[in-house]
Amino acid sequence: MENSSPIQVKQVPGNLDVYAPDRTEIRLLARMNGGSMVHCTLPPGQVSRAGMHHTVEEIWYALQGEGDVWLYNQHEEHEEHIVPTTCFTLPVKTHFQVRNTGLVPLCFVITTMPSWPGEQEWTRVPEHWSAQ
């Protein structure tokens, strides 16, 4: 039976819930009317697929590992190194890609606003780095 309480308390699941369209591992955390939150993992040596979101924006916060993120939209382009405590935003229609350059999983908490509507939200774009 589904819990109808608006209050949600949850630990990060050990097993992934789903692969994101960019091929990162997603563990679902919480969802409310205005947004959702997930734990995202990219294994060592892996590169996500490059993509963009049509209607949602996101905030990513790095918890563990190290790597790089590429962000591109009509106004600017960034290639930034990621370490724990790095935070970045993904405005709507920003192209992005993440790669893990470290020896441990690269882990993030991601907040999506509004809540993630499904895979149709994401479109693949030309790769910045070659993805596996």
CA-based nearest residue to 25, from 12, 39, 11, 13: 39
Decide: helix, strand or coil at residue 23. coil
Q: How far apart are CA 5 and CA 79, in angstroms?
A: 41
**Global pTM exceeds 0.85:** yes
34-82 pLDDT tens trace: 999 999 999 999 999 999 999 999 999 999 999 999 999 999 999 999 9
**Domain extent listing, the chain:** 29-124
Tens digit of each residue's pLDDT (9 = 90 or more) over 83-105: 999 999 999 999 999 999 999 99
HSE-CB at 120 with a 13 A cutoff on CA atoms is 1
Q: What is the pLDDT of residue 30?
A: 94
List, for residues 1-13, the tens digit of each pLDDT value.
Answer: 355 678 999 999 9
**Phi then psi for 56, rounded to 5 degrees?**
-105, 155
DSSP-assigned letters across all residues of 71-131: EE-SS-EEEEEE-TT-EEEE-TT-EEEEEE-SSS-EEEEEEEES----GGGEEE---SS--
Name the fold adopted by 29-124.
Jelly Rolls (2.60.120)
